[in-house]
C-alpha cells in the first residue's frame, strides 16, 4: 500500500483550488471550523465541525481525541482533515440531516434567538493512542471542489498556530493566498457553529447514536486511508437515515521528516501540477535536481536552452550541486515560472520552505545588480559563466520594497565609510550597524545588511582558478 500524501503536498493541491468570494449558490464563501465534544461516543472524543456560515451548511469529522494532542500535532491533524475534505468535495447527506434537525428545533421558542454562541467543552483528559481513535468523515461528496475564500475558528491559539503552519506551506508562490490567515471567529460565526452543533446532536439522538458509533469504530479497522480521492462510500442505513463513512488518518508527529508520495490523480486533477519524476517519486528539490532531472526530457530541453549542465547523480551526497545554480540561471533568463522550476527541481519545490526562501533571496540579489568588485558579483560571476543572455523579469511589489531597503543601507554605509574600493572588515560593518541603531533609523533584518555589504564595491577580483 502506498504511503499517504504528505501534508506539504496536500497544502499545494489545496492552495490550487478555486476560492471565489461567493459560491455558485450566491452566498458568501466563508467557513468556520471548531473542535467540540463529540457527545455521542467516548466522553473524551471530539469532532471537527465545519460550517458554511451563510446558510449553516455543515460538515462533521470524528470521533477523535483532539483536545489531548500537543498543539503542533493537533494543528497538522485538523489541517489534513480540512485539506482532504475540500479536495474531495464537502458532504451533503449528513448536512441534510442537520438541516432537518434545525427546522425541527426551530419550532421550540427562542431556539435560534437566545442560543449561546460559546460551545462549552467538558475538558476530558482521557488517554490517546489506543488505535481506535480515528478521524472519520460522514460524507457523500459533492462534485464541486472549491476552497473557502476565508475561514475562522473559535480558538485564538489554534488560529495563530494554524496560520503560521499555512505560511510555512505557502512558500513564495502562494504567499498572498487569502487562506494563509485563520481569523478568530466573530459572534456570527460562533452562533452558526452552536446552532448546527446542537442540531447535529439532536439528529443523532433520534435513534442512531449507539449504532453510528459502532459502525464508525468497525469501519476504521478495515477501511483504506490512503486513496482519499477515490474512496468507495460505505452506505449505512439506520432509523431510515443513510449515512456514508470514510476514514481519515490522524497526522503523525514524524510526518514532516518523511518524504511521502501524494496521490497522483489528485495532483493532476486538482492542482493541475504534473509529476516529471521518472521514478514517480517526490524527493526534496536538491535530491531531485542532482539525481533525477537529467532523466526528464523536458528538464534536459530547458537546461539546454539556458546552457545549464545537469548533474547526473553519480557523486555522493557531499558532492551534490547546490540548487542555487539552476535558480540563478532561470531567474536571470526570466524562465523561472512554476512549470520550469518544477521541471528542474521537482514537484516539492513549491512546498519546500527552505527552497522558497533561497529562491526569494536569489531573486532580490539578482535585481540588485551587484557592481564589479563586490562579493556578490564574484559569487554570481562563476554561476553565470556560459549563460546565453541576461534578461531578468519584473519584480513584485514586495521585491521592489526589499531592494529599496537594501539601497538605503548602501547609501548610509557609503556616506559613513567614505571612499570605497577597499576591502571592508567585519568590525567596520558592526560599527556601521551600531551607528544606524543609535540614529534610530529603525530595525533592519540581518539578511538585508548582508545583501547591502555584498553589494559594496571593495575592489575584489574573481578567483579565475575556480
**For residue 241, what pLDDT is reported?**
35
Average the pLDDT over 288-308 and give the result: 90
Residue 121 zone, left/alpha/beta (φ > 0; ψ -120 to 50; rest): beta
**Where does the pLDDT of residue 385 fall: very low under 50, low under 70, confident under 90, or very high at 90 and above?**
confident
Helix (H, G, I), strand (E, B) or coil at 290: helix
Give how far the C-alpha of residue 269 lies from the chain's centroid of Cα atoms, to the nearest Å.
Answer: 18
Residue 153 confidence (pLDDT): 95
| CA distance to 71, 166, 348, 360, per residue, from 80 (Å) | 14, 11, 17, 27
Burial 308-328 (b: 16+ CB within 10 A, else e): bebbebeeeeeeeeebebbbb
pLDDT digits (tens, 9 = 90+) for 78-90: 999 899 888 887 7
Residue 106 pLDDT level (bands cut at 50, 70, 90): low
Its pTM stands at: 0.45
- What is the bridge-based pairing of β-strands 150-153 and 183-184? parallel
pLDDT of residue 128 exceeding 60: no
- Nearest residue to 140 via CA among 222, 237, 209, 53: 237
**2 band by pLDDT with thresholds 50, 70 and 90:** low
Amino acid at each position: 500500500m502506498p504511503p499517504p500524501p504528505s501534508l506539504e503536498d496536500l497544502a499545494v493541491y489545496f492552495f490550487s483550488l478555486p476560492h471565489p468570494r461567493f459560491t455558485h449558490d450566491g452566498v458568501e464563501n466563508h467557513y468556520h471550523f471548531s473542535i467540540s465534544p463529540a457527545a455521542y461516543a467516548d466522553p473524551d472524543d471530539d469532532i471537527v465541525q465545519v460550517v458554511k456560515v451563510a446558510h449553516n451548511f455543515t460538515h462533521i469529522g470524528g470521533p477523535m481525541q483532539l483536545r489531548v494532542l500537543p498543539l503542533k500535532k493537533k494543528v497538522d491533524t485538523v489541517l489534513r482533515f480540512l485539506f482532504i475534505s475540500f479536495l474531495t468535495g464537502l458532504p451533503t447527506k449528513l448536512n441534510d440531516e442537520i438541516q432537518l434537525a434545525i427546522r425541527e428545533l426551530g419550532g421550540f421558542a427562542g431556539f435560534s434567538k437566545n442560543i449561546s454562541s460559546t460551545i462549552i467543552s467538558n475538558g476530558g483528559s482521557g488517554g490517546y493512542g489506543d488505535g481506535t481513535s480515528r478521524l472519520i468523515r460522514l460524507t457523500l461528496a459533492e462534485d464541486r471542489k472549491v476552497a473557502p475564500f476565508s475561514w475562522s475558528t473559535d480558538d485564538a491559539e489554534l488560529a495563530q498556530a494554524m496560520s503560521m503552519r499555512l505560511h510555512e506551506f505557502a512558500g513564495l508562490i502562494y504567499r498572498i493566498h487569502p487562506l494563509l490567515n485563520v481569523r478568530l471567529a466573530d459572534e456570527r460565526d460562533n452562533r452558526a457553529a452552536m446552532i448546527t452543533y446542537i442540531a447535529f446532536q439532536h439528529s443523532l439522538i433520534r435513534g442512531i447514536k449507539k449504532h453510528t458509533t459502532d459502525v464508525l469504530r468497525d469501519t476504521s479497522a478495515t477501511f483504506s486511508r490512503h486513496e482519499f480521492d477515490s474512496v468507495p462510500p460505505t452506505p449505512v442505513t439506520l432509523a431510515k437515515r443513510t449515512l456514508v463513512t470514510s476514514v481519515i488518518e490522524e497526522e503523525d508527529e514524524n510526518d514532516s521528516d518523511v518524504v511521502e508520495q501524494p496521490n497522483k490523480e489528485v495532483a493532476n486533477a486538482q492542482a493541475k501540477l504534473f509529476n516529471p519524476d521518472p521514478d514517480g517519486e517526490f524527493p526534496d528539490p536538491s535530491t531531485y535536481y542532482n539525481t533525477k532531472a537529467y532523466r526528464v526530457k523536458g528538464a534536459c530541453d530547458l537546461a539546454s536552452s539556458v546552457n545549464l549542465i545537469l548533474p547526473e547523480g553519480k557523486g555522493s551526497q557531499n558532492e551534490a550541486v547546490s540548487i542555487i545554480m539552476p535558480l540563478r540561471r532561470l531567474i536571470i533568463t526570466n524562465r523561472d515560472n512554476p512549470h520550469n522550476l518544477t521541471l528542474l527541481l521537482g514537484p516539492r519545490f513549491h512546498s519546500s520552505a527552505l527552497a522558497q526562501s533561497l529562491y526569494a533571496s536569489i531573486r532580490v540579489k539578482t535585481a540588485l545588480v551587484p557592481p564589479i568588485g563586490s562579493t556578490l558579483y564574484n559569487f554570481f560571476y562563476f554561476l553565470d559563466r556560459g549563460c546565453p543572455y541576461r534578461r531578468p523579469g519584473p519584480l513584485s511589489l514586495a521585491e521592489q520594497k526589499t531592494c529599496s531597503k537594501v539601497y538605503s543601507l548602501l547609501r548610509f554605509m557609503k556616506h559613513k565609510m567614505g571612499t570605497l574600493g577597499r576591502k571592508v572588515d567585519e568590525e567596520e560593518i558592526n560599527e556601521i550597524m551600531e551607528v544606524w541603531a543609535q540614529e534610530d533609523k529603525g530595525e533592519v533584518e540581518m539578511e538585508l545588511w548582508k545583501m547591502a555589504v555584498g553589494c559594496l564595491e571593495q575592489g575584489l577580483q574573481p578567483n579565475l582558478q575556480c
